[in-house]
Every structure is written in structure tokens, then in C-alpha cells.
Structure 1
Amino acid sequence: MTSAPAPRREAAFIFILITVALDMLALGVVIPVLPKLIAQFEGGDLKSAARIVGLFGFAWAAMQFFFQPVLGALSDHYGRRPVVLASNLGLGLDYVFMALAPSLPFLFVGRLISGATAASVATANAYISDITPPEKRAGRFGLIGAAFGLGFILGPAIGGALGEYDLRFPFWAAAFFSLANFAYGWFILPESLAPEKRTEKVVWRSANVLGSFEFLRSQKTLSLFAAALFLSYLAHESLPALFVLYTQSRYNWDPSTTGWALAIVGISQTVVSGGLVRPAVARLGEKTTLTIALVSGALGLIAYAFAPTGAIFMAAPPLIALWGMANPSFQGLATRLAGQSEQGRLQGALGSLRGVSGMIGPLFFSQIFAASLSFDLFIGAGYFVAGLLLATSLFIGLKAISRGAN
């Protein structure tokens, strides 16, 4: 941990919370409209759009997969602040590019750029590890989740409302939020990693996907946590991959309704991440908290799969939100297995896992959805499969805890 006094560390934590919230606000703004813009380029063909949405998700995650370890290693050497600032500036300019995209290939290039530059989440996690004692990290990661939720409360609602007028307007709004985030960070955000705590040189061996996986395999317990997190990440990909097109197809929702529904999801997640993670871990322990979180998430996904009406579908977000208690616990435990100068590499490696799930998940779940439409199968099959993945994640996570990780 840095030698900065506690008040300064608290102020830095507030700064990073605001940075993450603004970043998520920008991402959330485009969620309700990106699949619809793709469908518009495809002449309104939902089946074709579903497959292309999956390809877009794969491409974005592939860029994350390759660049997160690089950016994590760079942050261990150069510090967290410049990586966060470069990410915010790159995202802001990229949203402008996508707002002006004249065709689907240009939009696709924009998503590639955004995947390469969207590094602030993993770096923010490393930032939290820098300034927080190990026993308090799970709670702090929970508050980062609350900042995520705040961004997704406002972002989709704003994006859905703007999308009613023009599907391009949300991209301009996202550009504004990302560039405002860059300006905020430039003047306000302090560096969290003291020079003496940094690596002497960039550890390029870990700054690639193979090296990052080697790092995760360096300890058996860390490997188990990584496997459990990967399955949880993969299951989570069912939400962005399916939510918009699924609710449009099954419940005939328009962009505004979708935006407000996603805002409700964000509210639920914010309440859980900001108010329940710390007391749950303190009172129940990691094992019980993980069990409740992953079982709740699995039940919520199954409810999504079988809900016959939109109203019943919207009864499930509180269960999905409880799933949000799992990741901070996993993250907090994992950070104890890495040194201070390794936190960037750890978060970069975990970011690569998310990247792998992000490459597989959108293609996997969107293809299930497309097949459901093409062959008149069970339309909620994708969410049902995601629930099964969470059950497996729980089994592996409990095995990791049983090895004495805490």
C-alpha cells in the first residue's frame, strides 16, 4: 500500500469512483441503441442483426483480450493515472468516430478502437489495490460495482431517451461523458502507485495473453479463482448479448422501454454493490456470500428465460443484482495472492479472462438466440444455459475457498 496518509487515500478513492461512474455512464448510453443501429444498417433484419451483434461483441472482447495485459503491465511501470487518462481520451474520440460512422464497417472499426482503449476498469481495480488494505478490498470493489451501477442507471435511460429521436445521439452523449472524464482526471485524479513501488521495467512476459495466463496459473488457488471468475464472466455475457434483442422480440419493447428497464437493473446493482457487499462479507464470510450471490444470479437468469411477460421479466433484476456480490469477493481474495507491484498484471490477467469470455459469450449466446428464432425453439435458452454456467462457477469457487484462500 502507498505511504500516503489516510485522508488522501480516501480522497483518491472518491476520485476513482467518479472516474469509473463517468466511464460506465458513457458505455451505458450506447447499450440500448447499438444493436438497433446495427439492425438499421441491416435493413431491419433482426436475425442478421443478432449475428452481427455477436460479431461486434467478439471483436470488442478480442481487443480487450490482447490489450488488457499490456495496459496492466504498463500501469505497473508508469503508474495508473496515465493509463486511465489515455483510456478516457481514446474512448471519447472513438465515440465521435462511431457517431459519424457512415456504414457498418466504420462502426465495426469504432468498436475495435473502443475495445483497445477501454482499460480504465482493470486499472481502477489495481488503483484500489494500491490504496486499500487487503481486508477492506472486497468492500471497496463492491463500491466500484456501485459506481458501475450508477453509470448504468443513468446511461441506458439517457441513451434510450436520446435514441427515440436519433440512434446517433447517444454516441455524441457518450463522447461528451468520456471526454469530460478525461478532463476531470487530468486536473483531479492523483497517482496511486508510488515510484518506488513500480516495476523497474515493463514486464513484457506478462504483457501478453499467454504470459498473463501463466501468471494466473502460478498458484493453484489463484487458478481456481480465475476459472470460477471466467465462468461467471461468461454467464454475464448473456445479458448484453441478449437483453435488447430478446426483449424486443419477446415483449416488443422500444428503445425507451429498454433504457428504463436497464436503468432498473442498474439501480438494483447499485443498491447491492454499494450497500450489501461489505456487510455481507463481514457478517457471513466469503463462502456464504458467494453462495448466495451465485445461486441468486442463476435463479435470476432462469427467471429471464421463462418469464412469459415483460412485467414478470422485470421481477428478476433484484436476483441478478445479488449476483454482483460474487465478483468483489473473488477480486478481494485474488488480490491477496499477488504483490503490490503485481496488481496491474493481476488485473490485466483477469481482464484477459473477461476478454476471453467476451469473445466467446456474444457469439455463443447470440447464436443460440438466432437459432431460437430460425427454428422456433425455446427463445429463453440462452439465459437458461447462462444459469447452468453460474452453478458450475459456484462449485469451483467453493473449492477455491476450501483450500484456505481467505
Structure 2
Amino acid sequence: MKRPAGTGGRSPLAVVFLTVFLDLVGFGIVIPLLPLYAQRFGAGPVAVTWLVAVYSLMQFFFAPWWGRLSDRVGRRPVLLVGIAGASISYLAFGLAGSLTVLFIARAINGVMGANVGVAQAYIADITPPSERARGMGLIGAAFGMGFIFGPAIGGVLSRVDPAAPFLAAAALGAFNGVLAWFRLPESLPASVRATMPPRETGLRARFATLTGAGPRLRGLYLTSFITTLGLAGMEATLALWADRRWGLTQETVGYGFAVMGVVAAIAQGLLVGKLVKRIGERRSALLGLVLMAVGMAGIPLAPSLPLVLVAAAVFAMGQGATVPSLTAMISHQGGPAEQGKLLAASQSLSAMGRVLGPWLGGLAFAHVAIAAPYLAAAALALFALVVLSATLKTTTEAAA
């Protein structure tokens, strides 16, 4: 596909990478500090859990709508609105005077947080099918780098004032909005934008992509949901497990997340493209699921901290291979005018996995064993492997 006009000689891929990276740095600044900040307003463990989950819950309902809107009006306006919404929500966090305001700000962030799905659609617009997994890998690399720099910046600023990280995230969002306004071109030509009648904007229409999907798309969506469900349960209990098992502090756990972020960023930004060229998207996704299962099972079973880091690195490499390959395969299931709809539906399912995963992981941690969320996540990765293998085999045979 041709390069969008108005890039000023810059690759649109580089511009959208920078836009998503800055967006996720702000997200990374906020997330690690959110529970502690909420406790200043009297939030107990249950309230903190819901404060974390309300973002993903809102994304589940609203991400498909934003995706369909981006198919109609273009990616650029939707990305700009999402950046502005995130910045406003972070400002509300920093100026909040009650827990109610925190919940409202968090909900606004979730409602407006369509950037990842729309950015993936942007990548699909500007990359040929053979380069799509590499392009999606850059979005994954932006995730990894955002969660490397964001928590570190937030930790430093929290020493100044508890609200400082949130105000800094708001300022970063404002800068990102200005950058995107002047540097981010439109990727979807008006000639190929989908026309969506008003009757298709309701909730039922937003789920039509999921319920009306063909066998291959359903299998890919299910694989993505199962994988995210296990991941979210593992991530939500990691700090608790590290404290119970090894007596680690939150700061040390943050370093562990940084290590996984570095490995995931390298895997998704540098290795995925080469891996896909060598073995293809299907095998890359399947191999990634195997590595994820091995890594997630290895984390609680490792007899020493260095081996825990090795297991975490194996997991991160698997995630780096699986996520962009799955996303690329989903994007192949529709034409240019359907990319926003397809990828936003995938983002919506992932959001629901991030609502249910922490709840189920917490129950398993509290009532089964502290290793249970990780072993369950490994089992879910293997189940996703079976689902994906069966999906690819069945649909390939049907096509033949």
C-alpha cells in the first residue's frame, strides 16, 4: 500500500510507533501506582480491583464502536480523540479529591482508550500482508518500551508528590496530541472507508463481528481471548507471588517487569519480522504459545531467582512471537475497510479477558495455591495452542 500523504518524508510506521509509544509511556506511569494512589482515598482491596478492571470493562463495550467509527471517518481523528481522552483522564486523576472522581476518570480512560486497536488497523492500512506481522510487532515493541520507561518515570515522580506522576502523564498526553496533530497522516483513503448506517451503531451491531465471524476468525478470536485470560491472571498476582515466595518488594518486582518488557520489546520489534519470514505467521504463533506455556509454568517452579528471570524471559519471547502473529492473521480476514472493525473486536475480547483474568487469578491464588495462577495460565496457553492448531487445520482443509 502507498505511503499516506503528509508524512513530511517520515515513515508513517515510525510516526504511529512514536504516537503509540508515548501513549503507553503515560499508561505505564499510571498503572503501577494506581492501587497505592487509590488507597489515599480510602479504597480497599475490592475497590482497587474494580478500579483496575473498570478500564478494561469500558474497553470491552466501546472499542468495537471506535473501530467501526475509524472505518468511516479515518484512523487519524479517532487516534487524536483517544489521546485527548487519556490526557484528560490523567489530569482528573492528579486533581481528584475523592474515590468517586477516580472511578469516573478511570471509566473515561477506558471509554476513550481505543488507540491500540485503531493503531493496529492503521498498521494494517499501510503494510502489505507479507510485512504485517512485523508492523504489528512494532506496536508490541511500543507496549514493551512503554512499560519499561513508564513505571521508572512514575516511581521517580512519586517521590515529589503522589499526584505528580498523573499530572506528568497528562502533560505527556498533551504533547503526544500535538505531535500526532502535526505529524500523523491519515492512513485510510476516503475512497475505501466503510459506510455504516446509523442502525449499525448499537451494541448488538458491535458484537456482530464476533457472532457473525467465520470459522477461522472465530478460532483466532478464541485463541486471543484464552491467551489474554491467562496472562491477565498471572500479571495481577505477580507482586503477591513474589512477596510470598521470595519476599521481594514492589520495586524489585518492577525490575522484573522491566526485564520482561525489554525482552518482549526486542522480540516484537526485532525478531518477529525475521521469524515470520522464515517460518510464517502460523508457525510463529504456535511456537510462541509453546514458549509462553513453558515460561509461565517455569516461573513458580523455578528453584532460584535467576531461573525465575530465565522463565520470565522465555515467556516474554513467546508473547512477543504470538501476539503480533495472531493480530496479523486476524487482519487478513477482512479488506481495507474492515480493519478497524476486526481489530477493535479483538481488542474488546482482550479487554474482557483482562476483566475476568485478574478476578479468576486472585481466586486461584487465595483459595488453591500461590502457584495456581501461573500453572493455570500455562494450561490455558496449551489450550490456546490446541484451538489455534485445530482452527488452522480445519479451515485450511475446508479451503482445499
> What is the CA distance between 1:211 and its match in structure 2?
2.8
> What is the CA distance between 1:122 and its match in structure 2?
0.5
Asked if the contact 1:97/1:110 (under 8 Å) is kept, the reply is yes
Equivalent position amino acid for 1:281 in 2: V
Q: Distance in 2 between matches of 1:16 and 1:274?
A: 14
- Other structure's SS at 2:228 match: helix
Q: Distance in 1 between matches of 2:66 and 2:18?
A: 21
Equivalent position amino acid for 2:16 in 1: I
Q: Distance in 2 between matches of 1:166 and 1:248?
A: 26
> What is the CA distance between 1:223 and its match in structure 2?
0.7
Where structure 2 has 5 or more consecutive residues not aligned to the other structure, the ranges are none
The answer to whether the aligner puts 1:214 opposite 2:205 as a matched pair is no
Asked if the contact 2:234/2:358 (under 8 Å) is kept, the reply is no
Residue 255 of structure 2 aligns with which residue? 260
Where structure 1 has 5 or more consecutive residues not aligned to the other structure, the ranges are none
- Give runs of aligned pairs for residues 219-258 of structure 1, distance below 5 A: 219-258=214-253
Residue 17 of structure 2 aligns with which residue? 17
- Other structure's SS at 2:184 match: coil
Q: Distance in 2 between matches of 1:307 and 1:41?
A: 38
TM-score normalised by L of structure 2: 0.91
> What is the CA distance between 1:291 and its match in structure 2?
2.5
- Give runs of aligned pairs for residues 382-401 of structure 1, distance below 5 A: 382-401=373-392
Asked if the contact 1:33/1:255 (under 8 Å) is kept, the reply is no
Residue 279 of structure 1 aligns with which residue? 274
Residue 339 of structure 2 aligns with which residue? 343
Residue 122 of structure 1 aligns with which residue? 117
> What is the CA distance between 1:9 and its match in structure 2?
9.2
Q: Alpha carbons of 1:396 and 1:107: their partners in 2 closer, same or farther (altered >3 Å)?
A: same
RMSD: 2.5
Asked if the contact 2:5/2:186 (under 8 Å) is kept, the reply is no
Residue 365 of structure 1 aligns with which residue? 361
1:69-128 CA distances to partner (integer Å, 9 max, x unpaired)?
110111111110111011111101110111222333322222111111111100000101
Further displaced range: 306-315 or 89-98: 306-315
Residue 36 of structure 1 aligns with which residue? 36
Q: Alpha carbons of 1:204 and 1:346: their partners in 2 closer, same or farther (altered >3 Å)?
A: farther
> What is the CA distance between 1:140 and its match in structure 2?
0.8
Residue 88 of structure 1 aligns with which residue? 83
1:117-176 CA distances to partner (integer Å, 9 max, x unpaired)?
111100000101111111211111012111211111111222233334544322122212
Asked if the contact 2:264/2:316 (under 8 Å) is kept, the reply is yes
- Give runs of aligned pairs for residues 275-314 of structure 1, distance below 5 A: 275-307=270-302, 310-314=305-309
**Identity fraction in percent:** 34
Q: Distance in 2 between matches of 1:366 and 1:2?
A: 47
> What is the CA distance between 1:388 and its match in structure 2?
1.1
Further displaced range: 328-337 or 29-38: 29-38
Q: Distance in 1 between matches of 2:104 and 2:141?
A: 31
TM-score normalised by L of structure 1: 0.89
Equivalent position amino acid for 2:209 in 1: F
Q: Alpha carbons of 1:210 and 1:313: their partners in 2 closer, same or farther (altered >3 Å)?
A: farther
Further displaced range: 297-306 or 393-402: 297-306
Further displaced range: 208-217 or 142-151: 208-217
**One of 312, 318, 328 as aligned partner of 1:317:** 312
The answer to whether the aligner puts 1:27 opposite 2:27 as a matched pair is yes
Residue 192 of structure 2 aligns with which residue? 197
**One of 60, 69, 77 as aligned partner of 2:72:** 77
> What is the CA distance between 1:312 and its match in structure 2?
4.1
Residue 329 of structure 2 aligns with which residue? 333
Q: Alpha carbons of 1:29 and 1:194: their partners in 2 closer, same or farther (altered >3 Å)?
A: same
- Other structure's SS at 2:11 match: helix
Further displaced range: 310-319 or 276-285: 310-319
Q: Alpha carbons of 1:79 and 1:147: their partners in 2 closer, same or farther (altered >3 Å)?
A: same
